[in-house]
Structure 1
Amino acid sequence: MNRLALALVLGVISIVSCAAQDVRDQRYHPVDPALVNPELLARRWSATWIGVPESSPYDYGVYHFRRTFNLDSAPSSFIVHVTADNRYELFVNGRRAGWGPARGDLNHWRYESFQIAPLLRPGKNVLAAVVWNFAQYAPEAQTTNQTGFLLQGNTESERVADTGTSWKCYRNPAYRPLHFTHTQMRGYFVVGPGDQVDARSYPWGWQSVEFDDFSWPGAQADSRGVGSPRGVRDAGNRWMLVPRSIPMMEETPERLAALRLASGIKVPSGFPERQVAVTIPANSKIRLILDQTRLTTAFPELLVSGGQGARISLGYAESLYSVGGRRGEKGNRNDVEGKEFVGYYDEFLTDGGSNRLFRPLWWRTYRYLELKIETRDQPLQIEDLRAVYVGYPFKMKARLVNDFSQITKFLEIGWRTARLCAHETYMDCPYYEQLQYAGDTRIQGLVSIFNSGDGRLLRNAIAQLDDSRTSEGLTLSRAPSRQQQYIPPFSLWWIGMLHDYWMYLDDPEFVRQTLPGVQAVLTYYAGFQKENGSLARMPFWNYADWAGEWQGGVPPVGEDGSSALLDLQLLMAYDWASTMEQALGSARLAEEYQKAATKLRATISKLYWDQGRQMFADTTAREHFAQFTNALAVLAGIVGESDARDIIHRILDDRTIVQATYYSRYYLNLAVIRVGEGNRYLDLLGEWEQMVEQGLTTWAERPAGASNPPRSDCHAWSAHPNIEFFRTILGIDSAAPGFKRVSVRPFLGKLNAVSGSIPHPKGEISVKLERRQGGLEAEVSLPQGVDGQFTWQGQSRALSSGKTTLKF
């Protein structure tokens, strides 16, 4: 089964429909795969892309579309397939039915399938959609062609719903974009604009059956064609359609936890924790700082009445900033006094109506909300201020019980970090970028596997990065992305990501189909290798880590172009590619990659080893040294076991070399464990303890430093303890592709007892460990058909399916 066909199966299983009007109380109805018309991937659709006449399809705009039709009776099934550019929200008879499309690129433009039969009724029915195009203000992750909306009925009986000139449309004049610069946001900021909404120009009730759309013009059909599935000849309008392959996002109601500051008003008790009305007097100005007490990604919902002409601003921040300190300094994230609010915001201009609901078009990231209101001649009443959490529907299935409470706290924070950085794609951070970088995503994918066992978003990420490949062979550093940014080492980490997927999830056919992309990356790199295998000076941004000593995160490069770190990453990619090709692809390529790896391994040892420092240097000049470089040298097997252990001891003790930051600490920790020093793991988490002490509720992007002030408070590349608590402390790891064999090699460190489990493709792996009288008692349970090996202090025992009890 090819990737596109499999996506159809996955998509229709996971796409659901909402059968309740209030987004905070959704009920979903799965689409039965047997009911989906298979011809949708085999021919062009009957539905036509539509837009709004006399509106530029390339400019910013928010648009509404409506289709009214009659049914003799309520149908048992009514499936529609929906997409838009940039995005849409669909309503059926006034009730919210879904939103999308899942992010992709023009060559792989996603559509959703919704079962809307439970929302239909005999007689008059109305489909309504809001579609927006953020144009030049769009998020960096939002690819786009032009404004457009497409809805296709599944079979002939549903064709009455097809988009075309029978739909009506309206350009909403109430919306204006609020653009924020990098300078305003104190860092690279590319998540899209804020919304300014003027309620006086808003068509209230536009999605309801009763709304009068008589004056709305007919929609304008795209003259360049109908919906075009990918693989069906061509797409005159550039959107090549593929079914969504990930589930719809989780949406869960939540309330703000606390009021921290108030000026200009006395706030009633209970607000905002409960729905308590707050009256803002006429001709007044107020300012509230509200605290969620933890970071979240959510749609805020503000419900107000009266107050004609009032101006409301809702601002969003991960943390408040210290006043008078270094630029970008945040201090303790729990502190409010003596700090300033810096963040993006939305604005709502009221019309005096009752129960006016403001909800931004896209979700927001915040711990702190700044609510500013200026009223005119009428008082304004806040009926409610609430939110709807949104994120990929991961479920924590792993379990860990131990006698060290800090681990439980770290797991909670790490899981929150991972979840807030996972939506329709993985995201480096939810506040500033919302971009799916290969280097970040490799770690995020492993967190997902060890904590939830859900590999769908990882599979999606691997495919999207593969789809981003250029003719040269590199993937983009991040995908989807409007800007073509290249970080060549991230294409190598993408190979590592595919290898991880192969080892931990049982999906060899997908890996096999992706191997040509691996070949393309390595062919690109081969063009830069010198006779000895070492890389010449590499183009583009060769980011490695946010070490303060490295300008732009790029490690030192010698005058001859030499870089140990770049050579080591290439070596590891050759090793991964060789094993995958040997098992799933070409034995000839496997041998070729292994020969390249053998040559490069010898060259690295010769070029970069410094006899005086007894560690590997960053360049052939042997003037610069780093923990990251030496960690990769250990992981790549440049030296034997004894020498590797000595290197790890030196780099952990030597503070004069460049220290690994949160991202590269993942690889440093792997190297420590590789040499048998896993008992030190818990002692290496001091910087994570410091983050807790500083009031962070998610893990930050990088340590605070003079050259690299903290930016993102939520970066999932720092959540790797959520891997190692299970892989290192419990010791559970894959020993064969598809997790078909298990290795259990625990390192308890300071713990006396620990037990837990992780999800497995065939069920669950559970481990229970307890120190007794200088030894260890272990109980391991493996799924049916899975065996493995348990190793403790150099002793190994066989593990079989079911429960095994061991004593050492």
Structure 2
Amino acid sequence: MANLQTGTADWRVMVDQAIETHSDEDYTIFMGAIAERVQGELIPEGWKCAKNPEGRWAAAEKGEPCLGKDDPHPLFIVPQLPLVSRPIPLLFERVRGFVREMPARKGDAGPIRFSEQTGSAMVPPFSRAVVELDAGELTTGYPVYSIEQGKGAQIVFRYAERYVQPGNEKANTVRDDAENGIIRGFEDIYYPSGNAEVYEPFWLRAFRFIRIEVQTGPQPLLLHRPAFRESAYPLNAQSFVNSPAPWIRQLWDISLRTLQLCMHETYEDCPYYEQMQFIMDTRLQALFTYGVGGDIGLVRKALEDFHGSLLPEGITQDRFPSAMAQIIPSFSLHFVFMLHDYYWQTGDVTLVKRYRPTIDAVLDWFDRRVGESGLVERIGYWAYIDWVAEWKEGVPTACKTGPSTVHNLVYASALQVGAKLNDATGRSQIGSEYADRANRILASIEHLCWSEEKGMYREGPAVEQYSQHAQIWAVLTGLCEEQGARSVMLKALDEPDVLKCSFSMAFFLFRALEKSGLYSRTSELLQQWIDLLPLHLTTLPETPREPRSDCHAWSALPLYEFTHCLLGVKAGSPGWTAIHIEPHSSYLTEMSGTLQTPVGQVTVSWRKEEDSLFITGNVPIGIPLRVRWDGGKERVFANGGSFNEVLVRHKN
């Protein structure tokens, strides 16, 4: 093992003249990856592992060690970004091969055919040849291209999540339809040196399909069958579910893969495009991580990242780490929700106490924007809520003229959650202040935004527009309850002119339906996910229709619904020191599964027959358990352990 410690190892350095970046506005304007143009002959031979590599190498200057016994920063002058211990495990890597060569299309260049015996293909001089490869499923990692000869040639490597139909790129078509589709995407371009060489991009690539276009010069080119090193965060999911309904396991598997591929050094909205850690997206990804019993190191790191993004005016950036600051005010409120989720999952008050100042700053930022109406207005920045076609750039129409009902309700919800976090950490006076603020906001919304005629909440006091979003958050804040909650949610689902949620807000829609006793209506909403299965997707797209990205982790909602709602396992108190099991069985006849929790595994198996539910399972000994079905009489097991019960449906 070599000693690679900074300041100790015998580092040598040379300026890289071989690689430059390039861009294509159609595909790289929102890309997190760096498209490369590489001159192979300028790469020093043996630079990775040879004792004496080619080129002019100089000894690296050894600066003061960042971590050591001596104080490298006198008078408390410290670096802006000091080295710290890595808070997360290393990403995993495993070598994989492509599963098939896609059929050649009419009018394309001569196909590259890899020999079954040698695994190589020879492209003659002054010719053009193409091959398209399928990894079998969308993946993230480092393609490895082994090349011999080919001096004077150009090789273009194009990466894509799917095949698209020319002129209809956003259509939700079958992803591996090579007959009617083409591969479009960003490209690496390589110019071989003429020697035996291996090209591997510096940054990871997201792809399912790779198109390789070779244009040779006077020398033939030998191309070996490419492979790739798949890499992502070691999620180590330990939960699983099963059901006779085949779509349950299918959606579970592709949801899990979606989550996995949106986790690297940070959570990401999508691995192919921005590769950015957005707060609202990450809050959902953290919940899904809990649902599959995965490692939560990345959750803790994300909370620290967002805390570190706080700007002097008291608002967080909507995405972080980032070289450029961007603000979506509502996303700062989702930081409060994410911290509460973490507390409920772990029972850890230490981290909550650390981030209380960030909660205070964010909630006070909104409080300073409460106008004469008693509602938050003049939010500014990007007032995004959801990708709704009728809202320009996802911003509610009401933001143009004054207060937005949705923004105020999300703010009120964050105040309620902030109150609970302060109560849990010994600041009950601050908790009471936040609860009072929330009540004042809700009272103003009830007075100014309720439409007696429509039986719903308007998008703003003076905006006669109605969305599912306003009704959802009215239910989640408790502004309307019981029959009132049921009424507004039925209208939100059934009224044709009500603006609908996209996948990004689906989690909150499901929670509002659950809270209002309408969880059975989620069956028609889940159909949007089921309808994607015939399209040969291996991950879930950003939106159900006309998606840009084919892998976007806010769409991995089934990971939460299947474990917490269909299987029915939820924490009854912070840190899972009590457990509630209450399956929603309206559109399944049976289900089983295991949920990994901080206190151990919980197993459940249930089967429905008419008005009875046969349920068995096990929770860790010493953990109080409550089991209930369809609002009926609950069974309590004060010391946890195994249970085997027949539950009878509640009669109204």
Q: TM-score range by the shorter chain?
A: over 0.9
2:557 is matched with which residue: 701, 706, 720? 720
Q: Mapping of 1:484-633 within 5 angstroms?
A: 484-530=325-371, 533-557=374-398, 561-633=402-474
Report 1:121-132 matches (<5 A): none
Gap change, CA 1:175 and 1:763, over 3 Å in 2? same
Change (3 A) 1:519 1:651: same
| Cα deviation code 1:317-352 (max 9, x no counterpart) | 112332233x64463322123433321111221122
**Counterparts in 2 of 1:791-806, with a 5 A limit?**
791-795=628-632, 796-799=634-637, 800-806=639-645
Match of 1:388 among 202, 225, 229: 229
User: Equivalents in 2 of 1:666, 1:280: separation in Å?
Assistant: 51
Residue equivalent to 1:342: 184
Of 195-204 and 246-255, more deviation after overlay is shown by 195-204
Gaps in structure 1 of 5+ consecutive residues: 1-118, 121-126, 129-149, 153-158
> Is 1:437–2:278 an aligned residue pair?
yes
What is the aligned partner in structure 2 of residue 310 from structure 1? 153
Using structure 1 for the length normalisation, give the TM-score.
0.76
Q: Partner of 1:171 in structure 2?
A: 15
Correspondence 1:290 to 2:133: yes
Q: Is the 8 A contact 1:533 1:596 kept in 2?
A: no
| TM superposition shift of 1:625 | 0.4
Separation of aligned partners in 2, 1:772 and 1:406: 21
Q: Secondary structure at the match of 2:353?
A: helix
Match of 1:402 among 240, 243, 247: 243
1:413–1:699: 8 Å Cα contact kept in structure 2?
yes
Aligned to 1:245: 87
Q: Deviations over 1:35-66 (max 9, x none)?
A: xxxxxxxxxxxxxxxxxxxxxxxxxxxxxxxx
Aligned mates of 2:182, 2:224 — CA distance in 1: 27
- Counterpart secondary structure, 1:290: strand
Q: Which has the higher contact order (CA 8 A, sep 6+)?
A: 2
The amino acid that maps onto 2:616 is: E
Aligned residue for 1:373, secondary structure, equals: strand
Relative to structure 1, is the Cα distance of residues 266 and 596 closer, same or farther in structure 2, using a 3 angstrom cutoff?
Answer: closer
Matched, 1:695 2:531: no
Q: Distance in 2 between matches of 1:368 and 1:383?
A: 17
> 2:120 is matched with which residue?
277
Range with bigger deviation, 638-647 or 551-560: 551-560
CA contact (8 A) 2:288 2:556 kept: yes
8 Å CA contact retained: 1:538, 1:561: no
Contact in 2 for aligned 1:512/1:585 (Cα 8 Å): no
**Is there any run of 5+ residues in structure 2 with no aligned partner, and where?**
648-652
Give RMSD over aligned pairs: 2.3
Query: Which amino acid in structure 2 is aligned with residue 420 of structure 1?
Result: L
- SS of 1:292's partner is strand
- Conserved in 1, the CA contact under 8 Å of 2:233 and 2:260? yes
Question: Following the alignment from structure 2 to structure 1, what is the Cα–Cα distance between the partners of residues 603 and 448?
Answer: 45
What one-letter code is carried by the residue in structure 1 that aligns with 2:618?
S
Q: Are the structure 2 counterparts of residues 426 and 275 from structure 1 closer, same or farther at C-alpha, using a change threshold of 3 Å?
A: farther
Partner SS state of residue 755, structure 1: strand
- Percent pairwise identity: 28
Note the C-alpha offset of 1:578.
0.5
Q: 2:163 aligns with which of 320, 324, 349?
A: 320
* Counterpart contact for 2:91–2:232, Cα < 8 Å: yes
In 2, Cα distance between the equivalents of 1:806 and 1:574? 40
Partner deviation per Cα, 1:598-648 (whole Å, 9 max, x = no partner): 222222222211111111111112510011211111111111211111221
| Residues in 1 aligned to 2:334 and 2:593: alpha-carbon distance in whole angstroms | 29
Deviation string, structure 1 residues 561-599 (Cα, Å, up to 9, x no partner): 111100110011011111110011411101111111122
The letter for the 1-side match of 2:551 is: C
Residue 227 of structure 1 is matched in structure 2 by 66
Q: Decide whether aligned partners of structure 1 residues 766 and 712 sit closer, same or farther in structure 2, where only a CA change above 3 A counts.
A: same
- Pair 1:258-2:66 in alignment: no
Asked if structure 2 preserves the Cα contact closer than 8 Å seen for 1:295 and 1:697, the reply is yes
Query: What is the letter of the counterpart of residue 540 of structure 1?
Result: Y
Q: Separation in 2 of the partners of 1:350 and 1:687? A: 46
For the 8 Å contact 1:739–1:761, the answer to whether it is kept is: yes
Q: Following TM superposition, by how much is the alpha carbon of 1:508 offset from its aligned partner in structure 2, in angstroms?
A: 2.1
Cα deviation for residue 213 of structure 1 reads 6.9
CA shift, 1:243, in A, is 1.6
Give the equivalent residue in structure 1 for 2:650.
none
2:599 to 733, 738, 762: 762
User: Which of 189, 192, 202 is 2:30 aligned to?
Assistant: 189
Structure 2 distance, partners of 1:516, 1:433, is 29
Aligned to 1:331: 173
- Tell me how far apart the structure 2 counterparts of residues 226 and 581 of structure 1 sit (CA, whole Å): 40
Q: Hey, what's the Cα distance between the residues in 1 that align with 2:400 and 2:229?
A: 54
Q: Which moved more, 1:666-675 or 1:530-539?
A: 530-539
1:738 maps to which of 566, 575, 585: 575
CA distance in 2, matches of 1:512, 1:471: 20
The amino acid that maps onto 1:276 is G
Q: What is the SS of the residue equivalent to 1:489? A: helix
Contact 2:112 2:130 in 1 (8 A): no
Equivalenced residue count is: 639
Structure 2: how far apart are the matches of 1:754 and 1:214? Answer: 63
- In structure 2, distance between residues paired with 1:360 and 1:757: 39
1:626-672 Cα offsets, whole Å, 9 max, x none, are 11211111111111211111221221112211011111111111111
> Is this contact kept in 1: 2:146–2:223, CA < 8 A?
yes
Counterpart of 1:40 in structure 2 is none
Give the Cα–Cα distance (whole angstroms) in 1 for the partners of residues 110 and 100 of structure 2: 16
The one-letter code sitting in structure 2 at the alignment partner of 1:742 is I
User: C-alpha distance in 2, partners of 1:280/1:214?
Assistant: 30
Aligned equivalents of 1:243, 1:746: Cα separation in 2: 42
Alignment of 1:649-728 (within 5 A): 649-704=490-545, 709-728=546-565
Q: Deviations over 1:683-715 (max 9, x none)?
A: 3212112322333221111243xxxx5311111
Which whole-Å deviations, capped at 9, do the CAs of 1:116-146 have from their partners, x for residues lacking one?
xxx25xxxxxx68xxxxxxxxxxxxxxxxxx
Query: What is aligned with 1:372?
Result: 213
Paired position in structure 2 for 1:151: 6
Distance 1:343 1:507, change over 3 A: same
Find the aligned partners of 1:405 and 1:320 in 2 and give their Cα distance: 26
For the residues of structure 1 that align with 2:179 and 2:59, how far apart are their CA atoms? 55
Q: Distance in 2 between matches of 1:760 and 1:521?
A: 31
- Judged with a 3 Å threshold, the aligned counterparts in structure 2 of structure 1 residues 534 and 780 are, in CA distance, closer, same or farther, namely farther
Spell out, residue by residue over 1:61-89, the C-alpha distance to the aligned partner (whole angstroms, 9 max, x if none). Answer: xxxxxxxxxxxxxxxxxxxxxxxxxxxxx
Match of 1:39 in 2: none
- Report SS of the residue matched to 2:119: coil
